[in-house]
Structure 1
Amino acid sequence: MATEIIMPQLGLTMEEGTIAKWIKQVGDKVAVGDVLVEITTDKLSSEIESEVEGVLLKIVAQEGEDIPVKGLLAIIGAEGEQVGAAPAPAAKKEEVQSEAPKAEAQPKAASVTEGGRVKASPLAKKIASELGVDLSTVAGSGPNGRIVQKDVLAAEVKPAVVEKAAPEVKAAPAAAPVQTANADVVKPLTNMRKVIAKRMQQSKNTAPHVTITTEVNVDKTIALRSKLNAKNADVRFSYTDILVKMCATALRNYPKINASITEDSMIFHDKINIGVAVALDDGLIVPVVSNADRKGLKAITKETKDLINKARTNTLSPDEMSGATFTISNLGSYDIDGFTPVINLPEAAILGVGRIVKKPIVNENDEIVPASMMVLSMSFDHRVVDGAQAAEFLKALKGYLEDPDNMYV
């Protein structure tokens, strides 16, 4: 009996996924646990494994398509088993392609409801906004005429089709680096890079960024870390671990920093979940320490180490990357003093952490003494947070770093 393979919900907030690459092809034998397809969401790339054995009889969702959760991806059954005709959405897609001259007359019938609402996936709407594409003029090839990502991209490049020869337009993108005549190397974007690019552009286009900085004397935090590492042989505390705990403590006292905004409301999050930016070869990933304000420093340290290891081995679960309410990006190990971090929407703020540098300062007795100094840079969404509120939060965090006992006052 044939089994339908559907788009799984890989996280609580997932609405759809993009087909990145089919690992199995029609006619291939499939065993339980075999990877069928790679999908990309707005948070990560995942491999979908087969829960049944048989033969891949039909691929319904093509590479590059946006498929909603529970949408049909493929059909697996016994060898030689007959399956029904392709679903209606696929037929509509072929109609759109074969009747190109009528494309301008059909979009509203397929993609706009009687009430004037455009039927489009969230990702398609976001890309259309970025590219300046009017969705009411786009024909949808998704289920029930829904506009998906590739429809928007196809609409955006239409002007170029008139100017270029047809063979050039149809040429497939290179699957490997290409050497051009002037020695430039052209590499196709990875799925992770595409997601990062879209999210960064969305953040800068949506949130009015403001960044404030302060310099902190971290001598006492260095002493605290050294003391903790000397007393605990089973774990090794990092400055990022300490900052996760300090930020979580400060966020409990400044709830407006632990918030997000919608078109007509503010959401003050009850949970304090700290995202920790981790650099990978292909880009950046942000695993999340959930309920960080309710955990001790040792528990945070163990959890952070585990999340970072999973991030680097591509074994994070979707829920371990979801729900962050504040993010920390530490570039101190790269000898960076200060920088302007980009907000990880829908969060209201992100903290950038620079390196620790020994330099002379003037103490409270007007004496010039050496001190270990660190630059903190916090970007915040000015729709949610005002400058004074952001400054108060950063001042509180500075107080914790300069004297960790302040966290318990």
Structure 2
Amino acid sequence: MDDARSSMSLAGQNAWLVEDMYALYRRDPSSVSESWRDFFSDYRADEGQPEPSPPPPSAPSPASSPAEPESPPAQPAPQGEPIRGAGARIVANMEASLAVPTATSFREVPARLLEVNRSIINDYLGRTRGGKVSFTHLIAFAVVRSVADHLPVMNSTFVEDGTGPRVIHHDHIGLGIAVDVEKSDGSRTLLVPSIRESDTLGFRQFVDAYEDLIRKVRTNKLSPDDFAGTTISITNPGTIGTRQSVPRLMPGQGLIVGVGAIEVPTAFQAADPRTLAAFGMSKVITITSTYDHRIIQGAESGMFLKKVHELLIGEDGFYDDVFRSLGVPYEPVGWSVDVMPADHEEAHLRKQVQVNALVNMHRVRGHLIADLDPLALKEPHTHSELDPET
């Protein structure tokens, strides 16, 4: 529990929840779970906000002077609404985040391969054991693999004590998942539970751990251990249409990744779908890397986003690993560059003939990719007659 408490002191986004649970615990210890009772057994709440300093002494009154015309009475200042409890914690957290010198890198990534392979995965899952894979699952897993396999410097934390500034390079990645929560009064806030040692998980185990945390958030079953060990966070405001964001980086973490909406570039959003198809226009997604500039440099952040980009277009066998982990008995669609000769009309006709031939091949030879290996003893193979690349 000491590790959990230490982690929560770093993961300030969740401090409001601790205060809410502590208030319930003080009123009735049985109203919280055993893990929370254990956590609060030696918990000491903050001593509170410092007392405001007394106002400076007023200057001595000047000698009486001739009376001036009276000014109209001043209007009373708006009293406003006091910010207390969870709201006050959020204020404190945001002010604390200002002490972290950050910078942000942006990268726009084509999302077509992400869409197509996700569709293949979910179609297979829908016909077999059920369940779905989200875009966030795939992007978050690409973030973990990029850091763990290529840019471990992104998994670092700045600390300062009596010996001076230091950097901690973590052995494993604790991935914090920012989850939007609507409270009973209609207000909204964030919870950031963590997938501990996410770099040791295959994709299927990663999705299971992710969904387990989301389920706990929705059912109010989170325990202190669910917040322990966060080293990197990811937030996805793209689910509500935000194209890109620069989220706040909390003390104790070195990186937070923002994920934007998946959409056609703004300049083409009113275009005819046939025009987009003729141009080979893909939807795109903007991914941001906000990092602690004391321990991570801009070039490292840029290389990190470059690697995420490469994984999301299928390099390093990313989708092969995903399909294999989920037991999908097909080969993933790969990335290829479109070819359009100068004679567009003839090229279009040639492509249409090839598409018709591919459709016919799937009609007469589609049985060649039927799933006849329930024990997964053989690697999936796509016959050349059924492969769009050939």
Alpha-carbon contact 1:353-1:375 (below 8 Å) kept = yes
Query: 2:258 maps to what in 1?
Result: 352
What pairs with 1:105-124 in structure 2 (closer than 5 Å)?
none
Query: 1:257 maps to what in 2?
Result: 154
Alpha-carbon contact 1:276-1:286 (below 8 Å) kept = yes
Q: Give distance in 1, aligned partners of 2:200 and 2:77.
A: 55
Residue 159 of structure 1 aligns to a residue whose secondary structure is coil
Q: Give distance in 1, aligned partners of 2:88 and 2:175.
A: 24
Query: 1:218 maps to what in 2?
Result: 111
Alpha-carbon contact 1:380-1:390 (below 8 Å) kept = yes
Q: Give distance in 2, aligned partners of 1:212 and 1:204.
A: 18
Q: Give distance in 1, aligned partners of 2:238 and 2:301.
A: 22
Query: 2:173 maps to what in 1?
Result: 272
Alpha-carbon contact 2:25-2:31 (below 8 Å) kept = no
Q: Give distance in 2, aligned partners of 1:217 and 1:18.
A: 42
How has the CA–CA distance of structure 1 residues 358 and 10 changed in structure 2, closer, same or farther, with 3 Å as cutoff? same
| Deviation (angstroms), 1:376 | 0.9
Query: 1:388 maps to what in 2?
Result: 299
Higher normalized helix content (fraction of residues) = 2
| Deviation (angstroms), 1:18 | 6.0
How has the CA–CA distance of structure 1 residues 369 and 384 changed in structure 2, closer, same or farther, with 3 Å as cutoff? same
Alpha-carbon contact 2:234-2:258 (below 8 Å) kept = yes
Q: Deviations over 1:88-110 (max 9, x none)?
A: xxxxxxxxxxxxxxxxxxxxxxx
Alignment partner of 1:228 out of 115, 118, 121: 121
Q: Give distance in 1, aligned partners of 2:117 and 2:79.
A: 48
Alignment partner of 1:196 out of 90, 97, 100: 90
Listed as ranges, the gaps of 5+ residues in structure 2 are 10-14, 59-74, 183-187, 270-277, 322-390
Q: Percent identity?
A: 24
Q: Which has the larger radius of gyration?
A: 2
**Bigger Cα displacement from structure 2, 212-221 vs 302-311:** 302-311
Residue 320 of structure 1 aligns to a residue whose secondary structure is helix
Q: Give distance in 2, aligned partners of 1:188 and 1:316.
A: 28
Residue 352 of structure 1 aligns to a residue whose secondary structure is strand
Residue 262 of structure 2 aligns to a residue whose secondary structure is strand
Q: Give distance in 1, aligned partners of 2:92 and 2:25.
A: 25
Q: Give the AA of the match of 1:349.
A: L
Query: 2:47 maps to what in 1?
Result: 149
Listed as ranges, the gaps of 5+ residues in structure 1 are 1-7, 37-45, 52-66, 74-122, 124-147, 164-180, 362-366
Count of paired positions: 272
Q: Deviations over 1:55-111 (max 9, x none)?
A: xxxxxxxxxxxx99726x8xxxxxxxxxxxxxxxxxxxxxxxxxxxxxxxxxxxxxx
Alpha-carbon contact 1:273-1:292 (below 8 Å) kept = yes
Q: Give distance in 2, aligned partners of 1:382 and 1:373.
A: 27
Residue 260 of structure 1 aligns to a residue whose secondary structure is strand
Q: Give the AA of the match of 1:312.
A: R
Alpha-carbon contact 1:235-1:298 (below 8 Å) kept = no
Determine which structure has greater relative contact order: mean sequence separation of CA pairs < 8 Å that are 6+ residues apart, divided by chain length. 2
| Deviation (angstroms), 1:305 | 1.7
Mapped pair 1:292 → 2:264: no
Normalised to the residue count of structure 2, the TM-score between the two structures is 0.61
Normalised to the residue count of structure 1, the TM-score between the two structures is 0.58
Query: 1:240 maps to what in 2?
Result: 136
| Deviation (angstroms), 1:330 | 0.4
Query: 1:377 maps to what in 2?
Result: 288
Q: Give distance in 1, aligned partners of 2:3 and 2:24.
A: 18
Alpha-carbon contact 2:176-2:234 (below 8 Å) kept = yes
**Bigger Cα displacement from structure 2, 188-197 vs 210-219:** 188-197
Residue 256 of structure 1 aligns to a residue whose secondary structure is helix
Alignment partner of 2:30 out of 23, 33, 42: 33
Query: 1:339 maps to what in 2?
Result: 245
Query: 2:214 maps to what in 1?
Result: 308
Q: Deviations over 1:326-370 (max 9, x none)?
A: 111101111111111111331111111100112469xxxxx9421
Q: Give distance in 1, aligned partners of 2:289 and 2:81.
A: 33
How has the CA–CA distance of structure 1 residues 182 and 314 changed in structure 2, closer, same or farther, with 3 Å as cutoff? farther
Q: Give the AA of the match of 1:275.
A: G
Alpha-carbon contact 1:220-1:404 (below 8 Å) kept = no
**Bigger Cα displacement from structure 2, 13-22 vs 247-256:** 13-22
Alpha-carbon contact 2:19-2:86 (below 8 Å) kept = no
Q: Give the AA of the match of 1:221.
A: L
